[in-house]
Amino acid sequence: MSKLQFHLLLVCALFLTGCAGVDEPTQSTVIPINPSPTVSPSQTLTPTPTIPIEKTLPNPTVSSDVTLPALFYILDNKLFEQVGDPPGKEIANLPDADQILAAFRTGNILLVMREQGIQRLKLSDSTTEMIFNFDKPARYGNFISASEGHNVFFITIVDDPQAEFSMACKVGFYDLNLDTITPVITYPNAMRILGSTKDNLGLYLLYTGQSTDFGRIFLVDIKKGEIAQELAFQGELVASLAPDGRLLATLNPSYDPLENTLGIFDLTSLPGTPPRTYKLPKAPSFIPGSFLWSPDSRILYFNLMSGYYWDAPPSGPEPYGLWQLDTESGEMSQPSNGTEAAFYLERISTDGEWLLLRGREEVIWVNAYTGAQKAIGLPGNAFLVGGQ
């Protein structure tokens, strides 16, 4: 498979997005952000040596008396809650509608993105309502919660023959207090929501286009519904904003798999301040899929695979397991050893103790502190619900 073909397939799988009808970004408005300590000037750091975990040593299993976080999923238009081993408990019915594109739970509210709009389910009384209709069928999209407060942001991708790459994105938010949807901005290209600023006045959007290389971040003024600032940076394949709305993790662009590095940008110091960079703990290697941040924005979790992402061997890359980077000390270590790299990092519990990883027909809960694991079987067509 050529690099270009791989890029096009990967872009569709990574929830990259794009939108219609806004002029080119301007610099007319800048959202004030309280200054934070900036990341140190660019330097390539070698991870602090760690005690190796032998592959022959199994991970501890989660004790039977430990209560795992609740897992929510949708199957055949029914919402299930599962704590520990299956089966899950059916807790609500969803009206039969079109394809589910994304689902997000926060407190008592479940939001479901459909091709035609956004459906809201109140878990307290199981009432449902289509609270927002799209003007064009959505192709894909996702939800993400605000760094603090009561908003859930969403982005959807729609066809737009007039837009670059014939795709457009629409961005808005759901207000938990008002039970309303508010559109924020549209843009005639692929975008992805990274997250909000600490004060929730701004929203960071990653400009993605049709490539796995990143070069621009747009800071959107949520109240005005316009792009307030454009930030230049360089990254590729994966990007994730910390809960504090300040630190951004990505891979530094490189076509030499022996030189792949992880970069941490301080968005409050862009443009002008280079990232702090770290060599990946094994070479050649790459980070597939996603990052997860701890709730305190200190620890970055990632899976590691052998080789280079667009030139993997026919048998598939070798999984190097789950790793973590302490962004304060620069130390890299393995919280858990095994084949977790074959799983997608879904989310982390609100207390930072549990990581959820998903495979084809099972999920794995991994304790971030002890490495203990619990594998749970799920129907292959179950749609996992994001959120808290």
Quick one: tokens of 163?
Answer: 């837009």
Q: Is 9 helix (H, G, I), strand (E, B) or coil?
A: helix
Tens of pLDDT, residues 54-94: 344 467 788 777 889 999 999 999 999 999 888 899 999 99
pLDDT tens, 203-237? Answer: 999 988 666 778 889 999 999 999 999 998 888 88
pLDDT band at 308 (very low <50, low <70, confident <90, very high): confident
CB 114 within 8 A of CB 137: no
Instruction: Catalogue all structural domains in the chain, each as residue range(s) with its CATH number.
Output: 3-27+37-387 (2.130.10.10)
Please tell me the predicted confidence (pLDDT) of residue 33. Answer: 39
How many residues are present in the chain?
388
- Which tokens in the block code for residue 7? 């890029």
**Angstrom distance (rounded) from CA 89 to CA 4:** 44
Is the torsion defined by CA of 3, 143, 357, 286 positive or negative?
Answer: positive
pTM of the model: 0.81
At a CB cut-off of 8 Å and minimum separation 6, what does 36 contact? 244, 246, 266, 268
Q: Residue 210's pLDDT is what? A: 64
Looking at residue 270, what is its pLDDT? 80
Q: Residue 41: which pLDDT band, with cuts at 50, 70 and 90? A: very low
**Band (339; pLDDT cuts 50, 70, 90):** low
Radius of gyration in angstroms for the set of CA atoms belonging to the chain, rounded to a whole number: 20
Per-residue confidence (pLDDT) for residue 332, from 0 to 100 = 95
